[in-house]
Amino acid sequence: MYTVCVRDHIMIAHSLRGEVFGAAQRLHGATYVVDVEFRRRELDRDGVVVDIGCATDLLREVLTELNYHNLDALQGFSGRNTTTEVIAKTIFDRLAAGIGAGRLGASALPIASVRVCLRESHVAWGAFEGELAAP
């Protein structure tokens, strides 16, 4: 399996419900480094997994919808704890929709899976990885 990774970051605010979250139940900020790995079994005719520029642009567009927002106030997160894992899955879903819509070009449609990793610090991170539907 071949892999290409692109990186960006977001800064968000949110609060988490439940005693397990302690002080994080209060509104607080988080900065995430976001790594996205695109994987496929075979390279395209140009010898790449995906155009890195296009992948970077798509990631930036997806993250712009979250960046500098209070996730508690965004429609898609109503009634949900916006844990690192939930945010990673949300980013995955939005990237997968973009890939399916051809945002990375037709040669990127054979991407087999995508892994989204949110790094909150040098010692803690969460991720979601999923397969993409075959074209």
In tens, the pLDDT along 117-133 reads 999 999 999 999 999 98
In tens, the pLDDT along 6-64 reads 999 999 999 999 999 999 999 999 999 999 999 999 999 999 999 999 999 999 999 99
- Give the E-state strand segments of 15-131 in sequence order: 28-40, 113-119, 125-131
Give all domains of the chain, ordered by start, each with its CATH number: 2-69+87-131 (3.30.479.10)
Cα distance between residue 111 and residue 35, in whole Å:
16
Question: Hey, how many other C-beta atoms are within 10 angstroms of the C-beta on 18?
Answer: 9
For residue 4, the Cα-to-chain-centroid distance in whole angstroms is: 14
The pLDDT of residue 135 is above 80: no
Which helix (H) or strand (E) is 64 found in, with range? helix 52-64
